[in-house]
Amino acid sequence: MNHPQETDQHLIERTVEVKPIYHGRIIDLEELTVELPNGRRAGREVIRHPGAVAVLAELADGRVLGVRQFRTAPGEVLLEIPAGKLEPGEDPLACAQRELAEETGGEAAQVRHVGSFYTSPGFADERLHLFYASSVTLGRAHPDDDEFVETVCLNQDEVREALSSGDVRDAKTWIAFEWWLLLKAGAWA
């Protein structure tokens, strides 16, 4: 459902003015004036992002890959699945394979799209494409020059423990791990 359904028309806001605030390397920030469904006007601050991919990578032995890395915004080391920003015009599948190789040295026998979702639609248009890579073999990671990551492998019990203990504080990783546990339980096709 990429387009509003006819029955949703009474909910649609119409953008009447766009004021660029900031243009950066990764994001742009805009201040919008919108006309609400009731005819009144309101302001919106929107972060524009090119989109990203994330890869739930499963090794042949049934463990999944994670990466631990320091994230400046929250100021802490997080456990995440391999992920990265889409380059302009880049195919999400190609990006997923690139990020898996860069961050873990991993190469997958098979990669499939699980789904796509907005990371924080209240203020950002970033859309994340989640992929499932199976029968992954590990090689030598080659992260970007400004990227310092540590690869970890987790079995199902370790994934459950990481989720229940609060060690997973990254939304894409939480979604991917929960999906994977459902898949392993036979509750997801």
**CA–CA dist 57, 135 (Å, integer):** 8
Assess contact for 125 and 47: CB atoms under 8 A: yes
Among this protein's residues, is 99 annotated catalytic? no
* Best CA proximity match to 176, nearest among 60, 105, 79, 106: 79
Among 17, 45, 87, 147, the active-site one is: 147
Largest CA distance in the chain: 58
**CA–CA dist 10, 12 (Å, integer):** 6
**CA–CA dist 22, 29 (Å, integer):** 5
Give catalytic residue positions: 147
